[in-house]
């Protein structure tokens, strides 16, 4: 797996992160469809932004063994972000609490 130190300018790490962001964007666009309440209030880019922050935190504690491991970790952060966003938007105090997608959100969380 490319390490930031593989190139003198550290661009290997930048390339991997850009590739990860592109893959996370594609995954977020696909998975957000399973969470209608999130889809109503958030854009895939919002999901990716929050998931990328989570991924960077996770990378502090995890020794990445391969590209596959890295991308699985990124996908897990997308899923966790979507679940947390669905919980936030279905909470009684959220803006979404009084909108018609509330029942759909509860159903999505029960899956």
Question: Mean pLDDT for each consecutive 10-residue tract of the chain (111 residues)?
Answer: 51 78 94 92 95 94 92 95 92 61 59 62
Domain that holds residue 52: 4-110
Of residues 51, 43, 50, the one with CA closest to residue 77? 51
Check residue 86 and give its pLDDT: 92
Distance CA(98)–CA(7), nearest Å, equals: 53
> 29: Cβ–Cβ under 8 A, 6 or more apart, which residues?
44
Q: Cα separations (Å) of 90 from 86, 106, 107?
A: 6, 7, 10
- b vs e for 40-63, b when ≥16 Cβ sit within 10 Å of the residue's Cβ? ebbebeebbebbbebbeebeeeee
Q: Cα separations (Å) of 63 from 11, 41, 50, 60?
A: 20, 34, 21, 8
pTM tops 0.75: no
- The total domain count for the chain is 1
């Amino acid at each position: 797996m490319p390490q930031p130190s593989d190139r003198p300018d550290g661009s290997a790490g930048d390339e991997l992160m850009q590739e990860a962001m592109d893959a996370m964007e594609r995954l977020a666009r696909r998975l957000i469809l399973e969470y209608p309440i999130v889809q109503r209030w958030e854009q895939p880019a919002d999901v990716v932004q929050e998931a990328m922050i989570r991924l960077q935190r996770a990378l502090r504690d995890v020794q990445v063994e391969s590209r596959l491991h890295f991308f699985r970790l990124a996908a897990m952060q997308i899923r966790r972000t979507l679940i947390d966003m669905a919980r936030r938007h279905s909470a009684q105090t959220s803006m979404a609490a009084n909108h018609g997608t509330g029942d759909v959100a509860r159903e999505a969380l029960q899956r």
